Structure 1
């Protein structure tokens, strides 16, 4: 497993930046110790729901089975009809950990320094649900919108493990132009404002790029935090 200094990409300056209106990328937002603690916490949460309808599995869609494993916290995104629910087949959805709520507020305070549209949410934001997604080295996620929430509050996304390519598109369709952003272990990306409904995806994972000490030997964990209600 590489260290942060083995990969030339990790040696390039990566300052915080505003990628587009309402979209901010903060490299190295999480230190290695916090990454490792979050991975351990995610594993514990996943173990608690093994064998239940809330288990961390690869969801099956009409188009086929996803390559990403998903764990729902706070709320569960159900189908038929599509909606957020608190209970699935008699099993309550695990609550959103306080550590995730704290992370969300820290993220917005930091991202808000680069975007006025994000700064306006720094005090009012209510973290209500999270997805913990595990990407194996060959997993990916197609272009999609996060358009199922009543609120237009920003989406907060944290990366741990192998580098994932975050592809940001427009708000109207999945077509080009795209902006590809390598999200390395510990990186944060927040999107809201004019690009809250932007299409986005993860076309690829760069295998063997997880730094030693992050808690993952391979693959990538993505923690996405949302406010649902107005």
Structure 2
């Protein structure tokens, strides 16, 4: 049944793992249909108050079109706190151990190494080789922050860097729902050179090492492209990070 509900996308050949830039790896179809549904159910629970889904406002008075909920620590422009300081002020929800473990599995899938137990059961998950991650993949990362962004059909994300963390651990990005155009750029500026990658439901994208501070964004979401069996209108992106912040700021 899952094969009918989650079609492969109509390609003659399966999409394969691709190194977009040194340290930046796209693993298509890493999350199988069952894992996608589990993550979606969890995201819906996390999005409920307190410290639930909110609209993010920038210091300059702008508003992000993608809405967000955080786990572990609460991100706001531009820092971290233990409470939803720009929301209802409630303590942030904890990041569950199974989600932190999924982050470690994702790094192994992207950069190579032994297949961890319970990995994502997607077509790309078994296609591992030694990428530019090298020593990056061997480190025992403890993922302690998750940012979950919800995009409707009109949402965008401008080019930015994930720069508030003190750890250089790879960023793990998981996609659910509608396909998006993910723009992955360079470390010097928001402009060219960059590459546009289509991220579909179940896809994994990891960037670390020399790509850790690259600018990236989402210029477009493609409405109506989510797998019919998932039951999601729009796109969810789960981004896992290692803060390296020690005691979190108040």
Common topology (TM > 0.5): yes
Aligned CA RMSD, in angstroms, stands at: 2.0
1:30 aligned partner: 31
Unaligned ranges ≥5, structure 2: 113-129, 246-250
Partners of 1:85 and 1:16 in 2: CA distance: 35
Give per-residue Cα distances to partners, 1:125-167, cap 9 Å, x unaligned.
1101001110001111000011111111110000000001110
Give per-residue Cα distances to partners, 1:162-210, cap 9 Å, x unaligned.
0011101110101112100000000000001111100000000011110
Partners of 2:156 and 2:83 in 1: CA distance: 28
In 1, are the aligned partners of 2:22 and 2:132 still within 8 Å (CA)?
no
Given candidates 77, 82, 90, the residue that maps to 1:86 is 82
2:52 aligned partner: 55
1:208 aligned partner: 224
Unaligned ranges ≥5, structure 1: none
How many angstroms does 1:116 deviate by?
4.1
2:234 aligned partner: 219
Q: How many residues align?
A: 221
In 1, are the aligned partners of 2:67 and 2:151 still within 8 Å (CA)?
yes
In 1, are the aligned partners of 2:6 and 2:33 still within 8 Å (CA)?
no
In 2, are the aligned partners of 1:75 and 1:129 still within 8 Å (CA)?
yes
How many angstroms does 1:12 deviate by?
4.5
In 2, are the aligned partners of 1:112 and 1:122 still within 8 Å (CA)?
no
1:75 aligned partner: 73
Partners of 2:36 and 2:201 in 1: CA distance: 8
Of Structure 1 and Structure 2, the greater strand share is in: 1
Name segments (4+ residues, structure 1) moved above 4 Å.
none
Given candidates 195, 207, 222, the residue that maps to 1:191 is 207
Map 1:43-192 → 2, pairs under 5 A: 43-49=44-50, 54-61=51-58, 62-79=60-77, 82-88=78-84, 91-113=90-112, 114-117=130-133, 120-192=136-208
